[in-house]
């Protein structure tokens, strides 16, 4: 099966500094959540920047739906169906939820398509529909994240790149956001996810990819990574807490 997005043997970095990614590869099929895990500074956000076209790889290739898009900038990548969801603080607080969401569809010239997409994202994110006419700044942090998701889905992306979706959210809002990630996935979107809360993210993801020293350290079904005690110690903040013995 052709992956919606694929990075092949990518080397990438900043300015003249040594490369951050040193032969990194990942593939995200349609309707699949792939979670990138790794220590701070491993290059997880850099992978998303490369995938979004914000940072050109020095070597390697980026394929979107099997088509070579290496070197394409962010606008071309978006036109090709690759959307980077800006996390936190990208909502315009003085504008309504409706205005914020419709901004995501400003490239859609077909009015009826825009209306169809708006109806779709309102259904996918009920809170967005309920607060459609409210000022976005009056929404909670978790609700504002959903506005950001809804905005990025207006263009009907094939691939959504998510950087730290749970940042700054309480556990309940985090659960809602991960539920929404699953709904995006179930709607057929390919999701590449970077998340500090790696354990929670892997519980949601289908596939996991551990990034270390700019390369794939290990990858496979997310459930297998979660069950690997060595990975748990190294990357997932230790093993899941064992229940204390009953006295
Ligand atoms: N704009 C930039 N200019 C120069 N160096 C950068 C830039 N952004 C990131 N880096 C460097 O690239 C390396 C990888 O950073 P990146 O943000 O991709 O890692 P990460 O795995 O997402 O880290 P974290 O888990 O801490 O968010 C780091 O050494 C960082 O200092």
Question: How do the pLDDT tens digits run along the chain, 247 residues long?
Answer: 778 999 999 999 999 999 999 999 999 999 999 999 988 889 999 999 999 999 999 999 999 999 999 999 999 999 899 999 877 678 999 999 999 999 988 878 888 999 999 998 998 888 999 999 999 999 998 899 889 989 988 988 999 999 988 887 788 888 888 998 998 899 899 999 998 888 889 999 999 999 988 999 899 999 999 998 877 777 776 554 444 455 5
Task: Report how far ligand 1's centroid is from the alpha carbon of 145 (Å).
Answer: 23
Q: What is the best residue among 13, 24, 45 to mutate for testing ligand 1's pocket, by most ligand atoms within 8 Å of CB? A: 45
Tokens found for residue 66: 């099997």
Index of the ligand 1 atom closest to the CA of residue 43: 18
Task: Report how far ligand 1's centroid is from the alpha carbon of 48 (Å).
Answer: 11
Contact 234, 198 (CB under 8 A): no
**Quick one: pLDDT at residue 41?**
87
Residues near ligand 1 (Cβ within 6 A): 14, 20, 38, 40-46
- Domains along the sequence of the chain with CATH: 1-80+192-237 (3.40.50.300)
Q: What is the best residue among 13, 18, 43 to mutate for testing ligand 1's pocket, by most ligand atoms within 8 Å of CB? A: 43
Burial class from Cβ neighbours inside 10 Å (0-12, 13-18, 19+) for residue 183 reads middle
Index of the ligand 1 atom closest to the CA of residue 163: 22
Please determine, for the modelled complex, whether the ipTM score is greater than 0.90.
yes
**Quick one: pLDDT at residue 247?**
56
Give buried/exposed letters for 198-230 (b at 16+ CB in 10 A, else e): bbbbbebbbbbbbbeebeebbbeebeebbebee
Quick: pLDDT tens for 23-54: 999 999 999 999 999 888 899 999 999 999 99
Q: Whose CA is nearest to atom 5 of ligand 1?
A: 14
User: Cα dist. 197→36, 91, 161 in Å?
Assistant: 11, 23, 16
**Quick one: pLDDT at residue 105?**
87
**Quick one: pLDDT at residue 241?**
41
| 63 vs 105: CA distance, rounded Å | 24
């Amino acid at each position: 099966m052709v992956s919606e997005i694929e990075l092949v043997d990518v080397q990438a970095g900043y300015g003249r500094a040594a490369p951050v990614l040193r032969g990194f590869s990942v593939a995200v099929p349609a309707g699949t959540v792939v979670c990138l895990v790794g220590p701070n500074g491993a290059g997880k956000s850099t992978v998303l920047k490369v995938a979004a076209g914000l940072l050109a790889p020095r070597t390697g290739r980026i394929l979107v739906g099997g088509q070579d898009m290496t070197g394409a900038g962010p606008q071309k990548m978006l036109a090709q169906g690759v959307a980077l969801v800006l996390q936190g603080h990208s909502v315009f607080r003085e504008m309504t939820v409706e205005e914020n969401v419709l901004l995501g569809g400003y490239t859609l010239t077909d009015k009826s398509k825009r209306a169809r997409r708006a109806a779709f994202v309102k259904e996918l994110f009920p809170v967005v529909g309920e607060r459609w006419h409210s000022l976005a700044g009056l929404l909670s942090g978790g609700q504002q994240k959903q506005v950001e998701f809804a905005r990025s889905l207006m263009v009907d992306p094939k691939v959504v790149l998510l950087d730290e979706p749970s940042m700054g959210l309480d556990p309940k809002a985090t659960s809602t956001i991960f539920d929404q990630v699953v709904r995006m996935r179930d709607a057929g979107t390919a999701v590449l996810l970077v998340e500090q809360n790696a354990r929670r993210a892997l519980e949601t993801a289908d596939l996991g990819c551990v990034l270390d020293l700019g390369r794939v350290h290990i990858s496979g079904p997310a459930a297998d990574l979660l069950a690997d005690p060595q990975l748990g110690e190294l990357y997932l903040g230790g093993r899941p807490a064992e229940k204390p013995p009953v006295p």
